[in-house]
Chains A and B, each alone.
Chain A
């Protein structure tokens, strides 16, 4: 048996013992996970620094702070989330108990990505633990040091049979995909997403895919351009542009293009000083292959800001491209790097048409002070999420579902949505072996009279509110009649 087969078999055996089902056990595991981030913060940050050159503060801000919040939320709300959810009854089921019961799915496979390795690998794990599943965690092999640290640390804090960590590259992932899971959660790109979904489909395994896309950013000419550009620059150059929801390209009218370029240049200087290469807060491209891929995109566009690069260090300066054409190389795939192309369009309608001609993105950004503009963009385009007047932050609001649509993915998570995504919501109807008279109308031999009763019972919905109000009205009328009778006559 291969290592991967063994890990999955052990996880399934552990799940079948039923120890992940009680809420106390799940909360205990979540609390242990919380301790990991408090006690081993240094190990986590060191590994990230070696992989992505992120500063310690940057790591905490973007990776672990969010996770700590999600774990606390899950611990606090688990009882509510896991409780049976009652539903509306009809006349036929008025004396029965009807509800939806969340249940664990079984063994979940979580395949992480390399850009925010802790955030995108551990967040689904929090949902899996909260929902009572076992989970096989497969961190991305591209972030070598972080994968090693995850493999070492996770078994020290959480149940190592229920939540094994399996590291490795493509062959190990393929071996994992040959095993049977009850759900697969994948974060990454759409090419691999299709392969994973097809492998899952052979076993009828549902999937959640968090993929990417080119997230457009529309800057209206009537908006506070300096604030807008500062926010866009922050959204774009954080983690050196390697964020799935980074604003991929800007759409604006030609009259403000120069201003936008100026403001973005100012923001870059403010954040990363005149020489971003020496700035500790500016990251690096993950590896040579991605470096070459991003540099190739510069070929047919005009550089307005930046453009400096150093292959040995995988360094690309924060770069802005101007007057980019839709056919340019940089517009053909998701950039995932610190290049910010600006395309000029004539109006909001043209921008909407431009966005709609392309695949649905993971996020859509719009900067405007006019609510009408924002609402038009919201109603006439489709994307995983929409954010007005800022970038990235919708990721952190745990009451908003985070996920894609169309080519940018399927399914969603964060907060309660993680719990629901990795649970099976089972419909339950508990009846009694009484009141058979009502049931008898459905038994053969069928008569028109029975049909009449069936129509009545099924088509009439019970509006308990209305019934209550009518009952109250009836009581008031009776009370009024009694009062009238006793005191006035």
Chain B
């Protein structure tokens, strides 16, 4: 089978890499022993997921990472570039392994794995490699009259050791994109992929030590109940992707050690379809966004708010698209995924059965964790599917009479990660954008704004705090230290600020301040 052949070819390749890695001057412990190699290989072929890491073991891992950070290795540009290149190399050389692991965890089609997981991470890594020098440069800032003889800079420093907790819906992307940011910013990192996607977690656990520095970067597999305890061990930043309840527990644990957090939390992303819009283009975009990865995506449209005039046409068009994408029996299609585990499958199935009316799809097969791409109509606001968060290939369609109703509905809910609007009328789009709030906004398409390296991806309110992607990842994992470098000369000017304070001093200062307010901003001859 392709998977196995890939693995044995990989084994030969890895032996070569073994010596290349030596040359790369990796830190102690040096390359793993052959015995460990064989055990790891055997484990992959048997597909056994590896053991969970308990909080006590994390103490040791954290200590090692701290020692490595204090040694200063991650500070050099050359080291960071080498690690980023190693990430790219790992993704290129093990493409089949990733496709295989994600196939087993989520039945993810090859196209989706390669495009939305591997290429995305590679893109981020290459963007970081190309821009790292620019990002690492101290930024000179605008000076005012009194500091015109001084140097005013903002220097980006690494925070220390960061914890990155991934989620199961895009397991590779959610762990590795923040990792790229953390590496670029010069930190050491401990990543914890989700235990739900056991094969992918095990693959990352196995591969990362072969490509990245063993002391600076570690992979643990912490259970979601153990995470708050792990966070309390004290990291310099915690990056968490997942759901709101877990996010809140992690944030509380982080608060106890004054650890800053970035939370990317899921929710229900509203998608408004206007009466003035080209249904034939809208439907495929929505269908792709909702049903790829069997609906298990943080940025997918959660529900549709459709104008009453176009509802019938939209549902019909969506039905045609689904036929086109997945054929008449999506179960047979190689492009269609499965639910990640039974728990989620049961939850989604229950919500599907208790909400609205099934207009398209609705078939479920428990043994395969398969849920057909389903569209629900006549959904009420009180239905379970609108009351709770869910991940799955179910698209509720609600109708509204106009834009105002849609905006009111959206504003009654918690702030989502994304708001989508489909319309050919730019005024409608403008209204939806200005009168709602969300992490990000996209008009006439879905999800693509979260794939762009230049746009920050993050939430607001209940959908999270902080953002990442591209330069924003670098900034998230850096501390911007402001530096003002003066000299001990020109004391004659500074004397104005010393006591004893006399009105003469103050009038001189106020005069000087007003003078420069007209030209440059608050002056301070202090």
Residues of A within 8 A of B (CB): 55, 57-58, 60-61, 65-66, 68-70, 72-73, 76, 87-90, 92-93, 98, 100-101, 103, 105-106, 182, 190, 193-194, 197-198, 200-204, 206, 209, 211, 223-224, 227-228, 230-231, 234, 270-273, 279-282, 356, 367, 369, 374, 378-380, 382-390, 392-394, 396-402, 405-407, 410, 412, 424-434, 436, 439-440, 442-446, 450-451, 454-455, 458-459, 461
- Residues on B with C-beta less than 8 A from A399 are 141-144, 152, 521
Shortest beta-carbon distance from A303 to chain B in Å: 22
**Are B484 and A69 closer than 8 Å at their CB atoms?**
no
- Residues on A with C-beta less than 8 A from B333 are 444-445
Kindly state whether residue B288 has any CB partner on chain A within 8 Å. Answer: yes
8 A Cβ contacts from B114-163 to A = 114-115, 119-120, 122-123, 126-127, 130, 141-144, 147, 152, 154-155, 157, 159-160
Total interface residues on B, CB under 8 Å, equals 117
Give Cα A228–Cα B122 distance, bound, in whole angstroms: 51
**Are B483 and A72 closer than 8 Å at their CB atoms?**
no
Interchain CB contact (< 8 A) of B143 among A356, A397, A439 = A397
CB-based nearest B residue for A374: B485
CB-based nearest A residue for B262: A206
**Are B488 and A446 closer than 8 Å at their CB atoms?**
no
- Residues on B with C-beta less than 8 A from A454 are 111, 114-115, 119
Kindly state whether residue B31 has any CB partner on chain A within 8 Å. Answer: no
User: Given A69-B523, A393-B484, 17 other A-B contacts at CB below 8 A?
Assistant: A68-B522, A87-B452, A198-B256, A204-B251, A204-B263, A227-B491, A270-B498, A388-B485, A397-B152, A398-B144, A399-B142, A401-B154, A425-B456, A433-B424, A442-B288, A444-B111, A455-B115
Give Cα A208–Cα B448 distance, bound, in whole angstroms: 31
Kindly state whether residue B258 has any CB partner on chain A within 8 Å. Answer: yes
A/B interface sample: 30 pairs, CB < 8 A: A57-B503, A65-B509, A68-B522, A69-B513, A69-B517, A72-B517, A73-B522, A88-B454, A106-B437, A197-B254, A200-B251, A231-B494, A378-B481, A379-B75, A382-B481, A385-B484, A388-B484, A389-B485, A389-B486, A389-B488, A393-B524, A400-B152, A401-B482, A424-B437, A426-B438, A427-B449, A428-B441, A429-B448, A431-B442, A445-B326
Given contacts A100-B455, A224-B488, A454-B115, contact A394 B252 (CB under 8 A): no
Give Cα A268–Cα B494 distance, bound, in whole angstroms: 16
**Are B467 and A61 closer than 8 Å at their CB atoms?**
no
Shortest beta-carbon distance from B60 to chain A in Å: 21
**Are A428 and B155 closer than 8 Å at their CB atoms?**
no
The 10 closest A-B pairs by CB, nearest first: A69-B522, A446-B111, A201-B251, A444-B335, A197-B255, A400-B482, A427-B455, A198-B255, A429-B449, A427-B440
Given contacts A446-B335, A458-B115, contact A193 B258 (CB under 8 A): yes
**Are A382 and B479 closer than 8 Å at their CB atoms?**
yes
**Are A387 and B448 closer than 8 Å at their CB atoms?**
no
**Are A197 and B258 closer than 8 Å at their CB atoms?**
yes
Interface of B is mostly: mixed
**Are B461 and A182 closer than 8 Å at their CB atoms?**
yes
**Are A87 and B284 closer than 8 Å at their CB atoms?**
no
**Are A429 and B443 closer than 8 Å at their CB atoms?**
yes
Kindly state whether residue B9 has any CB partner on chain A within 8 Å. Answer: no
- Residues on B with C-beta less than 8 A from A401 are 154, 480, 482
- Residues on B with C-beta less than 8 A from A224 are 488
Kindly state whether residue B344 has any CB partner on chain A within 8 Å. Answer: no
**Are B481 and A385 closer than 8 Å at their CB atoms?**
yes
**Are B444 and A385 closer than 8 Å at their CB atoms?**
no
Give Cα A60–Cα B247 distance, bound, in whole angstroms: 44
Give Cα A383–Cα B155 distance, bound, in whole angstroms: 11
CB-based nearest B residue for A207: B255
CB-based nearest B residue for A201: B251
CB 8 Å contact bits of B495-526 with A (1 = contact, 0 = none) = 00111111101100110010001000111101
**Are B284 and A387 closer than 8 Å at their CB atoms?**
no
**Are B501 and A429 closer than 8 Å at their CB atoms?**
no
Give Cα A182–Cα B459 distance, bound, in whole angstroms: 12
Given contacts A98-B454, A431-B444, A433-B444, contact A202 B248 (CB under 8 A): yes
**Are A428 and B486 closer than 8 Å at their CB atoms?**
no
- Residues on A with C-beta less than 8 A from B437 are 103, 106, 424, 426
Kindly state whether residue B110 has any CB partner on chain A within 8 Å. Answer: yes
Stretch at the interface among B40-48, B197-205, B274-282, B389-397: B274-282
CB-based nearest A residue for B479: A405
Shortest beta-carbon distance from B295 to chain A in Å: 14
Shortest beta-carbon distance from A148 to chain B in Å: 25
Given contacts A201-B254, A397-B147, contact A387 B498 (CB under 8 A): no
**Are A61 and B506 closer than 8 Å at their CB atoms?**
yes
Give Cα A379–Cα B442 distance, bound, in whole angstroms: 41
- Residues on B with C-beta less than 8 A from A98 are 452, 454-455
CB 8 Å contact bits of B303-333 with A (1 = contact, 0 = none) = 0000000000000000001001111000001
**Are A386 and B461 closer than 8 Å at their CB atoms?**
no
Given contacts A374-B485, A388-B484, A388-B486, contact A281 B500 (CB under 8 A): yes
**Are B488 and A223 closer than 8 Å at their CB atoms?**
yes
Give Cα A369–Cα B285 distance, bound, in whole angstroms: 63
**Are A206 and B465 closer than 8 Å at their CB atoms?**
yes
- Residues on B with C-beta less than 8 A from A206 are 465-466
Given contacts A92-B448, A397-B524, contact A100 B505 (CB under 8 A): no
Interchain CB contact (< 8 A) of B522 among A101, A398, A432, A442 = A398
**Are A393 and B522 closer than 8 Å at their CB atoms?**
no
Give Cα A430–Cα B428 distance, bound, in whole angstroms: 12
Interchain CB contact (< 8 A) of B501 among A55, A66, A105, A374 = A55
- Residues on A with C-beta less than 8 A from B386 are none
**Are B524 and A429 closer than 8 Å at their CB atoms?**
no
Kindly state whether residue B7 has any CB partner on chain A within 8 Å. Answer: no
- Residues on B with C-beta less than 8 A from A60 are 506, 510
- Residues on A with C-beta less than 8 A from B292 are 444
Kindly state whether residue B371 has any CB partner on chain A within 8 Å. Answer: no
Given contacts A57-B505, A396-B526, contact A426 B441 (CB under 8 A): yes
Interchain CB contact (< 8 A) of A429 among B281, B445, B453, B480 = B445
- Residues on A with C-beta less than 8 A from B258 are 190, 193-194, 197, 209, 211, 406-407, 410
**Are B522 and A66 closer than 8 Å at their CB atoms?**
yes
- Residues on A with C-beta less than 8 A from B143 are 397, 399
Shortest beta-carbon distance from B121 to chain A in Å: 11
- Residues on B with C-beta less than 8 A from A280 are 500
Give Cα A87–Cα B472 distance, bound, in whole angstroms: 12
- Residues on B with C-beta less than 8 A from A66 are 522, 524
Shortest beta-carbon distance from A197 to chain B in Å: 4
Shortest beta-carbon distance from B402 to chain A in Å: 19
Kindly state whether residue B460 has any CB partner on chain A within 8 Å. Answer: yes
Shortest beta-carbon distance from A131 to chain B in Å: 13
CB 8 Å contact bits of B54-83 with A (1 = contact, 0 = none) = 000000000000000010100100000000
Give Cα A393–Cα B114 distance, bound, in whole angstroms: 52
Shortest beta-carbon distance from B483 to chain A in Å: 4
Give Cα A105–Cα B439 distance, bound, in whole angstroms: 11
**Are A429 and B456 closer than 8 Å at their CB atoms?**
no
Best-buried of B277, B336, B483 by chain A (most CB within 10 Å): B483
- Residues on B with C-beta less than 8 A from A182 are 461
- Residues on A with C-beta less than 8 A from B49 are none
Give Cα A389–Cα B449 distance, bound, in whole angstroms: 46
Kindly state whether residue B429 has any CB partner on chain A within 8 Å. Answer: yes
Give Cα A442–Cα B141 distance, bound, in whole angstroms: 43
**Are A396 and B524 closer than 8 Å at their CB atoms?**
yes
**Are B481 and A383 closer than 8 Å at their CB atoms?**
yes
**Are B122 and A204 closer than 8 Å at their CB atoms?**
no
**Are A433 and B440 closer than 8 Å at their CB atoms?**
no
Kindly state whether residue B181 has any CB partner on chain A within 8 Å. Answer: no
Give Cα A197–Cα B126 distance, bound, in whole angstroms: 36
**Are B335 and A431 closer than 8 Å at their CB atoms?**
no
- Residues on B with C-beta less than 8 A from A436 are 281, 284
Kindly state whether residue B388 has any CB partner on chain A within 8 Å. Answer: no
Shortest beta-carbon distance from B286 to chain A in Å: 11
